Amino acid sequence: MVNLLSIADIKPKMRGWSAHVTVQEKMHIASSQKSPTRYQKFVFSDNQGSRVEGIMFNAAIEKMGSKLHTFKKYLISNADVKEIEEQYQTNGLTIQWVISAKTVVEELSEQGSCVLTNEFTPISFKDLASYADSKSQTVDIMAVVVDSMPVIPIKRDSQESFVQRFLIVNEEMVPTVLSLWNTFVENEGKLLTDHHNKHPVLICRRLKVVTYNGIALSTRNDSVIVVDPPVRDARSLKNWASRNEKELLALCRDKPYNNQSPKMFYGPRQKLTEIRDVLPTEKVSWVKCMFSFEHILQKYWYMACVKCRRLTSADYGCTYTCNHCNEKQSAQPRCRFDIDLTDHSDTITASIFGEQAETLLGFTASQAMHYFNRNEDLPLAKLHEELKNKMFIVQLKPGSTKNDGSYQRYTIVYYFEENAETTSAENQLHRGSNASTANESYLQITTDQAPSCVASPPDKEELPSRTRRSLLSSLDESEETTPKRQRKK
């Protein structure tokens, strides 16, 4: 006679039990960092909402792994029940069923209707920015695949990895890039590529939020991706995609992931840091500041590989083998210059690159190069005057330090001009706050409003930049470290 118990009633070292469970998650096979042991993890749930971790090792993976499929129901009997050591606990689970070749696993013929339990809470795409570049926080999402991009090999520390990116959306219509890495490319990536025109629905667990052309998503080793799951909410999203086919085709055609977009980047409520509190240990920081670079003598461009954008000594338009991406590419000018960012607390110098730099400057990299080659200054007097009356919201990331460690480099990942409504909201927030001396403040941002100039410069003298660089050591620098060149006058 089967002793059928709920997951919650099955305790460590217990024998003679059975349980009806649904496979909620099936992770990819992984290897231990300190031993050759291979393992594969699962998450099981029952109809009472209880959950438990399942795990297989080595030979058991080949014998038993193929029997278990996500969202199918099984009878499992007499797996070894153990407590999970605290350092190995994930998903809030403390009990583990170790499934071996002798464990009884039988698929149940009556599958019934499979509905996600309350543990799965898809996050709103508009809230993704709050989790950007967090080392400890992950997100769960449900989305429709709109477009697929080719697989790209990437070499890091002599090891080759593979990444494939997909454009995904949900009913919010906030287009977002999802990057699949390595094993996910070989499995889910191939399936999505073959069927992306049918707009498959994804349920993704434990994705990390990264800053790639705005806000993007990326897999981790413990992420789980389920394609077209037999779940009520997923089917509703699939029907929504069918009703909005024209809009999804337009997204596929316009490829919004090629350009940085405020809609993909800045969340409705972001933490702002005073410049004096910006730390190189923080992966990203948001600041509110003024821009100034009138006093910095620089050339506003550098010659770069057209693919990887790394500095090269190749002549303009020359095809050469890049020493960084190891491919034959063309040498083209790329816009880059330094800006002093100033708030009421301090000043910091950061570099801005590419299209964002061209937009702020009002000149393309090619135009800046031609002015430089003619030994003429760019006509920037009007821009410098306008910047004196503008405030910007800026996201910074730390870069590499100079060789002698004398200063910390920063790069402007993204910026936009602060608008009137933003300033008003912030003033109200400060008036209503009792913590007026805190180092960090919160600013309510309305992302669908066009930016406009409303702010005034700080009522204090310009602070000296703690990372100000002279022309002799900073003219021709890229995001890493590059030699400088002085203009002739």
Residue 467: predicted pLDDT: 37
Which pLDDT belongs to residue 49?
87
- How many whole angstroms separate alpha carbon 180 and alpha carbon 184? 6
* Mean of the per-residue pLDDT values of the chain: 80
pTM of the model: 0.65
Confidence at residue 378, expressed as pLDDT on a 0 to 100 scale: 95
pLDDT at 263: 45
The predicted-structure confidence for 14-43, as pLDDT tens digits, reads as follows 999 999 999 999 999 998 777 889 999 999
Query: What is the per-residue pLDDT across 141-198, written as a single tens digit (0 to 9) for each?
Result: 999 999 999 998 887 666 788 999 999 999 998 889 999 999 999 999 999 988 878 8
Average confidence (pLDDT) over 401-419:
75
pLDDT at position 134: 79
Q: Tell me the domains of the chain and their CATH numbers.
A: 7-107 (2.40.50.140), 125-257 (2.40.50.140), 269-301+333-474 (2.40.50.140)
pLDDT tens track for 37-91? 999 999 999 988 899 999 999 999 999 999 999 889 999 999 999 999 988 888 7
How much is the pLDDT for 283? 76
Residue 29 near residue 39 (C-beta atoms within 8 A): yes
pLDDT on residue 269:
55
With 80 as the cut, is the pLDDT of residue 203 above it? Answer: yes
Residue 473 has pLDDT above 80, yes or no: no
pLDDT > 70 in the chain, percent: 78
- What's the confidence (pLDDT) of residue 408? 83
Q: What is the pLDDT of residue 126?
A: 82
Q: Is a pLDDT exceeding 80 seen at residue 450?
A: no
- pLDDT of residue 110 exceeding 50, the answer is yes
Return the pLDDT at 401: 62
Task: Give tens-digit pLDDT for 307-347.
Answer: 888 999 999 999 999 988 888 999 999 999 999 999 999 99
pLDDT value, residue 435: 34
Strands 215-218 and 176-181: parallel
Residue 395 pLDDT > 80, yes or no? yes
pLDDT in the model for residue 489: 37
Task: Tell me which residue has tokens 């464990």.
Answer: 103
What is the average pLDDT across 219-227? Answer: 92
Dihedral angle at the C-alpha atoms of 191, 192, 198, 200, nearest 10 degrees? 100
